[in-house]
Amino acid sequence: MMIETDLIRQVEELSMNAWPALQTLHDDGWVLRYADGYTRRANAVYPLYAGRKSLQKKIRACEAFYRAKGQRVIFKLTEASLPTALDETLAAYGYETDAQTAVQLLDLRRWDGAPPTSTLPTVAVHRLDVVLSETLGGDWLAAYARMSNIKDEEMVTHGQILSAIIPAKRFATISVDDKIIACGLGILQNGWVGFYDIRTDSAFRRQGHAYGVMAALLAWAKAEGAVHGYLQVMVDNPPALALYEKLGFREAYRYWYRVKSF
């Protein structure tokens, strides 16, 4: 699918604001992000714009930056990355591809919130309330960590990233017997809403809870004037792909990583 490079860069910029790094360095059109190694997207180079320096010099500068952090070097690439020869150049330098990911978009003007009942389970979504909060709570963070099996130190970094988000946001939860069994995050900026951290407890999957979380966040965003939705999903995640298809999301473009360890 062909998509305008300006739109790709717009969504990539939105995603950086929605998932801020702990440290960010802008260098000749590229954005170098660092967050203690937690998540690829917060610890990668975003080569969004053309610059004046030579490509070799820029790559070596990125390698020096991340080597000083004791971290592998990661580039987050799209078909709009500049310069156009970057992907093949990184391959020649020994960088390996990783984590092919689809960026999907939704036109909220065509979304009415009605679930396709013929394809969704009839339980849970209509019986359990989704609670939205403007602020990050310790219970939300602990529940996400439990459902994602992340380490304590990763949870600390995760909390720092979420606390640094500047645009409007809502943290969504569904609870059973005072235990959070599903959660998600919506981030609203400039008429766009992005979706992150959609998780369901393993004991409650395939019951429509993730759909309920997404629907509640979409309704909030639409009420606040959002026109477009976006999300990022790994192409090897069939359950998530099926959920987002039911919601009306469609793939617009893909990104992938080029990774090199030292």
230 CB-contact burial (10 Å; exposed 0-12 / middle 13-18 / buried 19+) = buried
CA-only gyration radius of the chain, Å: 19
Task: Check residue 249 and give its pLDDT.
Answer: 95
> Coil, helix or strand for 51?
coil
| Opening angle at CA 148, ends 210 and 218, nearest 5 | 30
The pLDDT tens digits for 4-58 are: 899 999 999 999 999 999 999 999 999 999 999 999 999 999 999 989 999 999 9
Task: Check residue 78 and give its pLDDT.
Answer: 97
The pLDDT tens digits for 107-118 are: 999 888 765 443
Task: Check residue 127 and give its pLDDT.
Answer: 55
Q: Residue type for 133, please?
A: S
Task: Please state, in angstroms and as integers, the Cα–Cα distance from residue 220 to each residue in 54, 188, 191, 223, 236, following that order.
Answer: 45, 10, 12, 5, 29
Q: Which CATH superfamily is domain 105-254 in?
A: Gcn5-related N-acetyltransferase (GNAT) (3.40.630.30)
Between 109 and 124, where is the model more confident?
Answer: 109
Q: How many CB atoms lie within 10 A of CB 191?
A: 12
pTM: 0.90
Task: Check residue 75 and give its pLDDT.
Answer: 98
Task: Check residue 126 and give its pLDDT.
Answer: 41
Q: Which two tokens stand for residue 45?
A: 């180079």
The pLDDT tens digits for 148-165 are: 999 999 999 999 999 999
| Residue ranges of the chain that CATH labels 3.40.630.30 | 105-254
In the Cβ-directed half-sphere of 106, how many Cα atoms lie within 13 Å?
26
The pLDDT tens digits for 73-85 are: 999 999 999 999 9
- Strand order across the beta sheet in which 168-176 lies: 23-27, 30-34, 45-47, 73-77, 250-260, 96-107, 228-234, 192-200, 179-189, 168-176, 131-133
